[in-house]
A and B are shown apart, each in its own frame.
Chain A
Amino acid sequence: MAVNIRQLFPLQQARVRRSQLARYLSLDGGRYLIAAAVILSLMSLISLGQTGRLATQGYELAQMQAERTQLLRQRSALQLQLSEAASLLKIDQHASTLGLRPMTPDQAHYVTVVSPDSREQATGDRQQSAAPQP
């Protein structure tokens, strides 16, 4: 009769396997290679991330410059409209269509207004002249 004489000690065998686990991790010189690769990868990722951000910001900057150019164009166009509207010829024509006409010279009335400063000075002069002379 054939019997399996292999002894089964699950816990013991598991303990043995666990103790032997470190063997798989003892990389000797390889661990340094892996560590270097990991560090290099991290550095590359950081650099790539920065570069990507910079490129994105550069693109956004270019977009903003294009927007600025567009706004400057609009500004020039508005300035042109304003200048055309402020032209005396246009104002003259517009006033005529509204039924207005230029003032005739005989309609001008000139009024002399004495400013407060000159009035005070004149008053001061009069008082001085009215004061008894030594």
Chain B
Amino acid sequence: MAIRTAKTNQPITIRRWRMNAVLLAAVLAIGGVCFRLGNLQIIQHDSLSKQARGEINQQIQIAPRRGTIRDRAGNVLALDVDRESLFVVPQQIDQQNAPRLALMLASLLGRPAPEILSALQDQTKYWVPLKRWLDPEIARQIQKLAGDEPGLRLMYEPRRVYPQGNLGAHTIGAVNFENVGISGVEGYYDDVLKGVTGTITAEVDAQQNPIWIAPQQSVPASNGADLELTIDPLVQHVIETELKAAVEKHSASSGTVIVLDPRTGAIRGMASYPTFDPNRYNDYKPEMYNVNPAIGKVYEPGSTFKIVTISAGLQTHSFTIETQVDDEGVIARYDTTLGNFDQNGHGMITPGDVLKFSSNVGALQFNEMTGPDKFYQIVHDYGFGKPTGVDLAGEESGIVHDTKEPDWSPITLDTNAYGQSIAVTPLQLVRMAAAVGNGGKLMRPYILQKRCRGDICETTQPHQDGQPISPEVAATMRKMLVVSANHYTDQDGTASTFMMPGYQVAAKTGTSSIPENGGYSSDVIGSVVGLAPADTPRYAILVKIDRPQDDIWGVLTALPVYEAIIEQLLRYERIAPDPSLVGPGQVAGVAFRNGQ
């Protein structure tokens, strides 16, 4: 019997060369990969790393926020808000749609359509600004357009905004389009307000967001310091309202009012008219927003300077309050005739009478008793002829021709006695009055009350610059100035009325001529400087009205403004009137208005 066994399978043989070929191909492929890897990772490591870092690593600047400016009550005077600005990338604009787009944008942006069309079609430029700082509503409407048009880009940019409009414009100043302060507080404190730009150097993604897993270097931004000014909002509002009304009523060319706290030198109000809106400063001429007339323009102070003349004589014991000189209305000096404003004489007059009658003849005679050396010493002690040091940009020094000047002559001493041939800034003059109200202490005027960076605040300390007159002379001057103030209301010669019934207020008026073409113009500057209340003054005030057209003396323009201001400020300070200081027919707290 035959035994059948299962057929055994034949072994599968693969020809060796095919295996070798596959193996070789695999080895070559892997070898190629390894070679490429080695080339990229080792040989070209440095150059490729550098290239990658250059593309991925970026330094992003972190813009600091400009500090906020507030007044004494905490109201915001200037702050940064982010507003969207419209830019266009012409290469990404659908040029067939460009004319239609230009028309739509023209109505939104308020710019001519051809101008916008030209920007949309300018292929030579990559990034073209169309309009900066759009109103939020307009930005929203353009956002809808930008959704369909990738070439329109909206980017946030910080914009300096002044919510109070032109209130205190000359004092606060303005910033230009590069956010650099150019005048006022914005200019003087620009370094403090602008802060320090920060940077992040890191790998970024396509949206320019830093990738946190990669190492990064960051320098945080330091926002600008917030400033609080000494300006009182109500004082500022009152003086601006009264000044504007007076300038317009009398068709004057301009005016300035300053209110100082005599005890510290803090500026409670500083106004000039005409003024400007810092939100659109470039709509005005540069001399409007670059110059603060309160500190940047000089003028001859006129009879208000008699306060210096009399106080200089009393301080240097050149005469006393009982010394008398003969005022005949005119006087001859150095081949020239000098006289009172109305050429009327007042007979034998005391220093107090010089202020009361505003006698030029009396003033120059008393000044001759004082002598040039002592007089000019006191003038310089009062700070005239040099900047006050106030923390505002653009302060002038004024002009004082003393004996050291080569062109000084003795007649200059005489004319200086009644405030001519000498030039001062309004701030210098009101500071002088403040010294009289502060026991003779001359305080440095300042506008910055406090600066804060985060929670760390630094408060300005009042600084005394000098003591031109003693407290006794200052008290005497205040008494004489009260008589001078009340004299303006004394219509019947009984001296029974008061400029501000219920209060003792001090005031001295002045009419200054305006130098022009080597001589003097027919126009004048009317001014009043004073203290309220006179015994413990809370305010030193200067009112100056330039070239009023219906008042040849200027005084009748400036005096009612002064009275209206002190009327409101005394009420604001809650100072009760004294019934014993109310004259017949007068009402306590109601200023006697000249001409009424």
Contact = CB atoms under 8 A, between A and B. Distances in A.
B556 to A, nearest CB: 20
Nearest to B76: A83
Nearest to A88: B237
Contact of B75 (A51, A61, A80, A83): A83
A97 interface: no
A1 B1 CA distance: 7
A55 B167 CA distance: 50
Contacts of B233: 88
A108 interface: yes
Q: Which range holds the interface residue count of chain A?
A: 20 to 34
Contacts of B3: 2-3, 5
B212 A89 contact: no
A54 interface: yes
A51 B163 contact: no
A105 B589 contact: yes
A52 B207 CA distance: 18
A92 B211 CA distance: 53
Contact of A54 (B136, B167, B213): B213
Contact of B209 (A57, A59, A77, A87): A59
B577 interface: yes
A115 to B, nearest CB: 15
B164 A105 contact: no
A80 B163 contact: yes
A58 B567 CA distance: 63
Contact of A84 (B1, B163, B207): B163
Contacts, number: 83
Contacts of A110: 576-577, 588
A106 interface: yes
A41 interface: no
Contacts of A2: 2-4
- Interface secondary structure of A, over-half rule: helix
B208 to A, nearest CB: 10
Nearest to A81: B163
Interface in A67-111: 73, 76-77, 79-80, 82-84, 86-89, 92, 105-106, 108, 110
Nearest to A86: B75
Interface string B118-138: 000000000000000000100
Contacts of B165: 87, 89
Contacts of A76: 79-82
A80 B81 CA distance: 8
A82 B80 CA distance: 14
A62 interface: yes
A20 interface: no
Interface string B1-31: 1111110000000000000000000000000
Contacts of A112: 576
A6 interface: yes
A121 interface: no
Contacts of B164: 83-84, 87, 89
B441 to A, nearest CB: 31
B567 A62 contact: no
B182 interface: no
B36 interface: no
B212 A58 contact: yes
B210 interface: yes
Contacts of B576: 110, 112
A61 B417 CA distance: 72
Interface of B: 1-6, 75-76, 79-82, 136, 156, 161, 163-165, 167, 207, 209-213, 233-234, 237, 567, 571, 576-577, 587-591
Return the 9 tightest CB-CB contacts between A and B, nearest first. A2-B4, A58-B212, A83-B163, A83-B76, A62-B209, A88-B237, A110-B576, A105-B590, A76-B81
Interface of A: 1-6, 51, 54-55, 57-59, 61-62, 73, 76-77, 79-80, 82-84, 86-89, 92, 105-106, 108, 110, 112
Given A87-B75, A105-B589, 13 more contacts: A2-B4, A54-B213, A55-B212, A58-B210, A61-B212, A77-B136, A87-B165, A88-B237, A89-B167, A92-B237, A106-B587, A106-B590, A108-B571
9 contacts: A2-B4, A55-B213, A58-B209, A58-B210, A58-B211, A73-B82, A73-B156, A83-B79, A87-B164
